[in-house]
Amino acid sequence: MINTEQILAKDNDGKPVWKFLVSELKPRGKYFTPFNIISVPIILIGLVLIVIRFIYGIGSVTNLTQEVPWGLWIGFDVVTGVAFAGGAYVITFMVYILNIKKYHSIVRVTVLNGFLAYVFYAGALLLDLGKPWNVINPIIGNNFGVSSVLFLVAWHFMLYMIAQLIEFSPAIAEWIGAKRARKILSSMTIAAVIFGITLSTLHQSGLGALYLMAKEKIHPLWYSEFIPILFFVSSIFAGLSMVIFEGSISQKVFSDQISEKNHKAHNGILHGLSKICAVTMFVYFFMQILTFIHGKRWNFIDTPMGYWYLTEMIGFVLLPMMLYYFSFRANNLFLIKLASIITMIGIIINRLNVTIIGFRWDAANPYYPSWMEIVVTLTVLFIEIWIFRWIVRRLPVLSESPSWVEEND
């Protein structure tokens, strides 16, 4: 066993690690930014709602019914959120497996984003559990429900979080100046990446497979036996669109962190990603058409749900796909960013169509999320952004690694 404490202490130029950590806890930056002014009250209300939920039950803050037992917290926070976090496995695949150096500068921030997303969506999942203290049962083996897709997804979430933490851990080591620990941790990266991509393939599709048994409950335009593969393929461009969108914001907000070189390289990155998005969206669109024909869905087209389906497919898949393609050809950054936003809206619509809008679309009393569910969702999101910002300002995520790293490698 290696004594981590020792490694940390010795390598940190004699400065005690814990004192350093405490000094880093102090907030930096301005207090009254627009983001803070909006997010702080919402977070406070959200925390109160969470307390109410634990005292009076899930029904006291949500509109869930006996027919619609999964609402916004699962359909948006978990199912949609995890699709957006897909960028991490795609980018690590390109950088570490295909060895495309071009995307190296965005690996850390993407992995960090993915990691935080999983931590917080798993957190949101706990809010939705009636007996969250029993969440350890499927882990400790009381009992293993191995025939359950949810069992698979739950385990994968957990393992993937560990894999992502390992992928990100060299940044933590650089931050506290633990040279030897960094060496050990970065030697584990490639194994974590391979493991992480495998897990992602399975749980991105697994999230879709969760709904396979709800055959009669989901509108036939969105239910098919191919939900898993559709979820998987769409997670590629969902994740990359998120990377484009988030990257464009970070370039502005954290411009002080980003070196001149990486700042310039960013446009090239967006250009490359737009091509991958266009191609994967084409594949996805093609699969949707096959599914449409295979499922004999013509009869449903001339109905309100049918129009909604066409809106999704044409307005939020075909259109952004073409935008990505033309912006790639014309190298138009504005159009790339626009396409990423439309794609993300499309993914939200798609996931909600399967999980909420199309789920029990014919119910006598349909489910609409309560304002409290929305506030709690925003709370989770805002806390995540706070933590993300805290980390980016301190750790070498967007900024270059400390100078000792190069020699050490």
Partner 1 sequence: MGINRLDFFKVLGLTGVSLAFGGKLNARQTKADQPELENEDQTEFVGILYDSTRCVGCQECEIVCAKTHGLPEPVDEPNPDIVRKTNETRRTVVNLYETTKDAMLVKTQCMHCNEPACASACLTQAMFKTKEGPVIWREDKCMGCRYCMVSCPYDVPKFEYHSSNPKIIKCDMCFDRVNEGSVPACVENCPAEALTFGTRRELIAEARRRINNDPDLYYDGIYGEHEAGGTGVLYISAVPFEELGLNTSLQKKSYPELTKGFLYSVPSIFILWPAVLLGMFKATKNNQNQEEND
Pick the closest to residue 355 from 63, 58, 76 (CA basis). 76
Cβ at position 122, least distance to partner 1 in Å: 13
Residue 115 vs 157, nearer CB to partner 1: 157
Q: Considering the rule CB under 8 A, would residue 378 count as an interface residue with partner 1?
A: no
For residue 210, CA distances in Å to 223, 239, 288 come to 12, 20, 19
- Please state, in angstroms and rounded to a whole number, the distance separating the CA atoms of residues 204 and 223: 17
Q: Which residue in 161, 163, 202, 258 binds partner 1 (CB under 8 A)?
A: 202
Residues 6+ apart with CB under 8 A from 325: 278
Concatenated DSSP letters for 331-383? T-HHHHHHHHHHHHHHHHHHHHIIIIISBTTT-SS-----HHHHHHHHHHHHH
For partner 1, the closer of residues 33 and 148 by Cβ is 148
Is 51 a binding residue for partner 1 by CB under 8 A? The answer is no
**Using the rule CB under 8 A, is 221 a contact of partner 1?**
no
Residue 295's Cβ-side half-sphere holds a number of Cα atoms within 13 Å equal to 21
- Asked if 174 and 6 count as a contact pair (C-beta separation under 8 A), the reply is no
State the nearest-atom distance from the C-beta of 369 to partner 1, in Å. 14
Binding to partner 1 (CB under 8 A) within 127-146 occurs at 128-132, 134-135, 137-138, 142-145
| Min dist. Cβ of residue 312 to partner 1 (A) | 21
216 near partner 1 (CB under 8 A): yes
State phi, psi for 32 to the nearest 5 degrees.
Answer: -100, 60
Q: Would you say 39 or 62 has its CB closer to partner 1?
A: 62
Residues facing 218 on adjacent strands: 359
Our CB check for partner 1 shows the closer of 102 and 394 to be 102
Among 43, 209, 258, 391, binds partner 1 (CB under 8 A): 209
**Selection from 336, 347, 233, 229 nearest residue 279 by Cα:** 233
Q: Under rule CB under 8 A, which residues in 226-245 are in contact with partner 1?
A: 226, 228-229, 232
- C-alpha span between 67 and 62 (Å, rounded): 14
Least spacing, CB of residue 253 vs partner 1, in Å: 27
Q: With beta carbons less than 8 A apart as the criterion, state whether 200 and 160 touch.
A: yes
Alpha-carbon gap, residue 274 to 245, rounded angstroms = 11
Of the candidates 73, 79, 83, 80, the one whose C-alpha atom is nearest the C-alpha of residue 130 is 73
CB 271 within 8 A of CB 240: no
Closest CA to 128 of 223, 53, 240, 55: 53
Cβ-based nearer residue to partner 1, 56 or 307: 56
Half-sphere exposure of 359 (CA within 13 A, CB side): 26
Is 406 a binder of partner 1 (CB under 8 A)? Answer: no
Q: Which stretch binds partner 1 (CB under 8 A): 2-10, 23-31, 56-64, 346-354?
A: 56-64
Is position 97 an interface residue for partner 1 (rule: CB under 8 A)? yes
Q: How far is the CB of 221 from partner 1 (least distance, A)?
A: 17
**Ranges within 302-361 binding partner 1 (CB under 8 A):** none
Q: Does residue number 1 form part of the binding site for partner 1 (CB under 8 A)? A: no
Strand partners, 359: 218
Say how far apart CA 322 and CA 335 lie, in whole Å. Answer: 10
187/183 Cα distance (integer angstroms): 6
Binding partner 1 (rule: CB under 8 A), the pick from 17, 42, 58, 374 is: 58
> Is 105 one of the binding residues for partner 1 (CB under 8 A)?
no
Among 64, 348, 375, 383, binds partner 1 (CB under 8 A): 64
Provide, rounded to whole angstroms, the least separation between the CB of residue 261 and partner 1.
16
Tell whether residue 66 is a contact of partner 1 (CB under 8 A). Answer: yes
Q: Radius of gyration over alpha carbons of the chain, in Å?
A: 22
Question: Is 75 one of the binding residues for partner 1 (CB under 8 A)?
Answer: no
- The footprint of partner 1 on this chain (CB under 8 A) covers a number of residues equal to 69
Among 201, 248, 251, 399, binds partner 1 (CB under 8 A): 201
* 63: its two tokens: 């509109």
Least distance between partner 1 and beta carbon 386 (Å)? 28
Question: Is 57 a binder of partner 1 (CB under 8 A)?
Answer: yes
- Among 297, 278, 150, 143, smallest CA distance to 223 is for 297
* Sign of CA pseudo-dihedral 157, 159, 162, 164: negative
Answer yes or no whether residue 272 interacts with partner 1 by CB under 8 A: yes
Q: Which residues bind partner 1 (CB under 8 A)?
A: 54-60, 62, 64, 66-67, 69-70, 93, 96-102, 128-132, 134-135, 137-138, 142-145, 147-152, 154, 190, 193-195, 197-198, 201-202, 205-206, 209-217, 225-226, 228-229, 232, 272, 275, 290, 294
